[in-house]
Amino acid sequence: MGERYCFLIWSCKRMILTLVLGSLSGIFFIVLAVVLSTDNPMIFFNIPGLILVAGGCFAALFAGFPGKEIKAAFRAVKTLGHPDHLNDVQQIDELVQFARDYSRNDIRKIEARLHQHINPFLAMGMQMIIAKLPVADVAGTMAWRIKRLKAREQAEARIFHSLSAYAPAFGMVGTLLGLVNMMLVLDAKSLDLMGGHLAIALVTTFYGLLLSNLFFKPVATKLERRTEKRLLHMSLILEGITLIGLGRSPAFIRESLYSFVTHFDDELGARHAAKPAIDSESAHATLP
C-alpha cells in the first residue's frame, strides 16, 4: 500500500509536467498536420481571428466573474508546478503517533510535536482535542475549513471551464463575421477580399477549438484533480482527529485510516470511469 500512495504523490508532483507535455504534443501534431496538408502553412495564422477569439474570451470572463476570482484562478495555474507534499501514509503515521501520546495523556509531548513543521490543519485539530473541546465541535470546525477550500478551488476551476466554453463560441462569432463580410464583397468579384474574409470565418473556429481543448479544459481538469487530492488528505486528517478525540486505540486508527484512503481512492476512480459513460449516454439521448 505504501508503494501505491508514493506513486500518487509522485504523479501529483509532476502534474504541471504532464499538462505542458500534453499541450505541446497536441500543438506539435496539429502543426505537423497543417504542414503536411498545405503548401502555405501561414494561411492558418490570422491575427484578426486570434484577436477576436482571445479578446472575446477574456471580455466575457471579466463580464461574468469578479477580478479577484480571475486573478486567483490564474495564480492557481502557476502553483500547479509546486508540489503539495501530501503523503497520506506519512500523515497516517503522524496521526497514529498522536493517538499513542494522547492515550498516555502525554500532552507535553503532543505540544512539542505541534511546534514542529507539520500540517497546519492537523495542528489545529490536535490543539482543539488537547484543549478538551467536544469532538462534534472539533469535527464541525474542521469540516467547515474543508468546505471552504473546496468552494474556493472549485471556483478557480470553473473559470477555466467557462473559458473552454467561451472559446468555441467566439470562434463561431468570427465565422459569422467572416461570412457576412464575404457576402458584402460578392459584387466586387475580388477573390482576394473574399478569400481574406473566408479565412477569418474558418480560422476563428479553429482557434476557438484549439484554445478550448488544448489549454482551458486540461487546466480545469488539473485543478479539479488537485482539489480532489487535497480534499482526500484533509478528510483523512479529519477522520483521524475525530477517532483520537473519541479515544480509539492507535491500531484501530491506523487500520481505519488505511481503509478510509483505499475506499476514497476506489470511489474516486469509479467516479472518473463513470463520467465518460454518462457523457456518452447524454450525447446519444440528445440525438433525434
Spatial separation of the C-alpha atoms in residues 84 and 133, rounded to whole Å: 30
Burial of 284 from C-beta contacts in 10 A (0-12 / 13-18 / 19+): exposed
53 located within any domain: yes
The pLDDT confidence band at residue 274, using thresholds 50, 70 and 90, is low
42 located within any domain: no
286 located within any domain: no
Q: What is the CA radius of gyration of the chain?
A: 26
User: Which has the closest alpha carbon to 257: 98, 83, 84, 85?
Assistant: 98
Task: State the average pLDDT over residues 165-186.
Answer: 86
Q: What pLDDT does residue 83 have?
A: 65
280 located within any domain: no
The pLDDT confidence band at residue 286, using thresholds 50, 70 and 90, is very low
The pLDDT confidence band at residue 99, using thresholds 50, 70 and 90, is very high
User: Which has the closest alpha carbon to 244: 45, 149, 86, 104?
Assistant: 104
Residue 2 or residue 172, greater confidence: 172
For the cut 80, the answer to whether the pLDDT of residue 288 exceeds it is no
273 located within any domain: no
Q: How many domains does the chain have?
A: 1
Helices (H), 45-134: 47-64, 67-78, 88-103, 107-114, 120-130
Domain that residue 214 falls in: 2-37+47-267
Query: What's the chain's average pLDDT?
Result: 82
3-state secondary structure of 100: helix
For the cut 50, the answer to whether the pLDDT of residue 110 exceeds it is yes
Q: What is the pTM of this model?
A: 0.76
277 located within any domain: no
CB 70 within 8 Å of CB 58: no
Chain centre distance of CA 185: 46
Residue 212 or residue 180, greater confidence: 212
* E strands in 83-218: none
pLDDT tens column, 31-69: 787 777 777 777 778 888 889 999 999 999 999 999 999
CB 238 within 8 Å of CB 225: no
288 located within any domain: no
Instruction: Kindly state the cell numbers that stand for 3.
Output: 508503494
The pLDDT confidence band at residue 280, using thresholds 50, 70 and 90, is very low
The phi-psi region of residue 11 (left if phi > 0; otherwise alpha if psi is between -120 and 50; otherwise beta) is alpha
Instruction: Kindly state the cell numbers that stand for 149.
Output: 477550500
Task: State the average pLDDT over residues 75-88.
Answer: 79
Cα 220-160-78 angle, rounded to 5 deg: 70
For the cut 80, the answer to whether the pLDDT of residue 96 exceeds it is yes
Q: How many helices (H) and strands (E) does the chain have?
A: 11, 0
284 located within any domain: no
